[in-house]
Amino acid sequence: MSNSSVHAAAPRPLNATRPQGPLTGRVRVPGDKSISHRALMFGALATGRTTITGLLEAEDVLNTAKAVTALGAPASKTGDVWTVIGRGVGGLKQPEAPLDFGNSGTGTRLMMGVVAGHDITVTMTGDASLSRRPMGRVLKPLRQMGLVTQEDRDTLPLTVRGSSHLIPIEYPLPVPSAQVKSAILIAGLMAAGETTVIEKEPTRDHTERMLRYFGARVETRQHDGLTSVTVHGDAELEGRHVVVPGDPSSAAFLICAALLVPGSDVTVEGVLVNETRTGLYTTLQEMGADLSFENEREEGGEPIADIRARYSQLRGVHVPAERAPSMIDEYPVLAAVAGFAKGDTRMDGLAELKVKESDRLAATAAGLLANGVCAGVEGDTLIVHGTGSVPGGAYVATHLDHRIAMAFLTMGLASASPVAVDDTNMIATSFPEFRSLMQRLGASYR
C-alpha cells in the first residue's frame, strides 16, 4: 500500500480524557524530522557510505528513503543503523516510476533542489493535503537556476526536469521558509559558482550545519539585520555518520501535557535544542512554565538536552512575529496550552500557518472555539483568551493534519470534558509513537 493510500484508509478517531493521576516518567522521542530528511538526501549526494542512527522512522521520512533509493542511492536499515550508498553530487539517476512523497512538504521541496542539479526527469506526487500546498515558492528560484516543469502549475503532481548546468543565484527569501532556503542551497551545490540565500528572519539552519559536516563550503553572514547563506557550487560531499537528535516538535506534546496535568513531572531525554527550533520553549517559560534544560551537550554538530517539565500555573503572553520561524510547527499545541493559561495569549506573524499540512490557523481556532475556548483570528494573528480552564467536549476536525490531531489530544488530557479528534492515521507521518509514549507517561486515550 502506498503512503498516500494510507490516508485514504478509514479514519481512526480518538478520545482524550483526564488521566487518573499525574503524568510522570523519563522518555525519549523519535529523531528530528528535518534532520532525518536531510541526512538521507545528503547521504545520497555524498560519495561513499553514510550511516545514520536515530533516524525518524515515520511515513514522511520513509518516503524520502524510498525516493533516494529510487534515484540510485539505496537507503536501508540493518540493526539500528540506516545506511545510504551515495552517488556523489550530480550522480543520481532517473527513477523508473513517480516518487510519492505522501504528506511531506519537506521531502518534496528539498528533493526538488536535489533533482534540479541532475539531467533527469522526475514525477513527484503526494497525498490530498500535499497536493494542495504551494510549490511555487521553491519552483520560482529553481526555475531561475535551470529547473523545468512540464506542467504549467505550482502544485503536485508535477514532472520536473533538472540540469547539470545550473546557474547560481542570489535570492532574497520572500517567505521565512527553511524549506525554500534549503532547496536553493542544495541546488547551489550543483551550480557553477556561489549561490546565496538572504533571509530577514532566521529559519532553522540544519541544512547549513549538515552540509558543512559533509564537507561543503557554506558561509553564513549577518549584515543590516539580514542573514545571508552562501554555498559554493561544484561541491563534493563525503559520506559521514549522522546521529539524529530527538525531535523538539514531537517532544512539545509531551512537555505541554506535563505542564497541563496537575502534579506531573516528565523528562524528555536527548532533545534537539538548536535555537532556531526552541521558540516554543522560550514562550512556555515566559508563560511561567517550570521547565529545565539538563545535561546540555552536543551530538552530531547539534546542541541537545534533557528537558524536564513540571505542572505549572500559566499566564497569557505576547508571542512576537519574529519568533514564528523558530516554533512554526508548535503553534497548534501552544494555542491549546494558552486556553489553560490565565489571560490573553497573542501570537503574531502566523501567515505561514495557513499553508502547512492544513490551514492550521483556521483549524486551530475552530478547534479551540468548539472546545469552549474564546479565540479569534485577526489577519495573521491568533488570540486566545485563556481563563485557566478549558471546557472541552468537542469532536475536532483535523483536516489530514498530524499536528492538529496531537495538539487537541494534548488539550483533552486536562479539559473538563474529553476531547475527541476525527482521525489519527496521519500522526504516523511524523510521530508514530505519540500515543504509546503519552500512555507510558500516564495519558488516557480511547
Minimum gap (Å) between residue 309 Cβ and ligand S3P: 22
Q: Which is nearer to ligand S3P, 352 or 401 (CB)?
A: 352
Q: Which is nearer to ligand S3P, 18 or 360 (CB)?
A: 360
Beta strand spans in 74-189 (E):
75-78, 81-87, 99-100, 121-125, 148-149, 158-161, 170-172
Minimum gap (Å) between residue 74 Cβ and ligand S3P: 23
Minimum gap (Å) between residue 119 Cβ and ligand S3P: 26
Beginning with the edge strand found earlier in the chain, give each strand of the sheet holding 121-125 in spatial order.
99-100, 121-125, 158-161, 148-149
Alpha-carbon distance of 181 to 426, in angstroms, equals 26
Minimum gap (Å) between residue 269 Cβ and ligand S3P: 22
Element containing residue 267 per DSSP (H, E): strand 265-272
Residue with nearest beta carbon to ligand S3P: 34
Q: Which is nearer to ligand S3P, 216 or 328 (CB)?
A: 328
Element containing residue 306 per DSSP (H, E): strand 302-310
Work out the number of other CB atoms within 10 angstroms of the CB of residue 74: 15
Q: Which is nearer to ligand S3P, 110 or 443 (CB)?
A: 110
Q: Which is nearer to ligand S3P, 283 or 371 (CB)?
A: 283
Q: Which is nearer to ligand S3P, 405 or 414 (CB)?
A: 405
Beginning with the edge strand found earlier in the chain, give each strand of the sheet holding 381-387 in spatial order.
318-319, 342-347, 381-387, 374-378
Q: Report residue 118 CA to chain centroid gap.
A: 26
Work out the number of other CB atoms within 10 angstroms of the CB of residue 51: 17
Q: Which is nearer to ligand S3P, 189 or 341 (CB)?
A: 189
In total, the chain counts a number of residues equal to 446
List active site positions. 329
What cell does 269 get?
531525554
- Identify any residues that bridge with 59 across adjacent strands, giving them in sequence order: none
Buried b / exposed e across 278-304, counting CB within 10 Å, b at 16+?
bbbbebbbebebbbebeeeeebbbbbb
Minimum gap (Å) between residue 310 Cβ and ligand S3P: 28
**Which one-letter DSSP state was computed for residue 169?**
-
Which spans of this chain sit near ligand S3P (rule: CB under 6 A)?
Answer: 34, 106, 177-179, 182, 203-204, 328-329, 352
Torsion of CA 35, 37, 42, 47, to 10 degrees: 110
Cβ–Cβ under 8 Å, residues 183 and 110: yes
- Nearest C-alpha neighbor of 405 from the set 425, 428, 421: 421
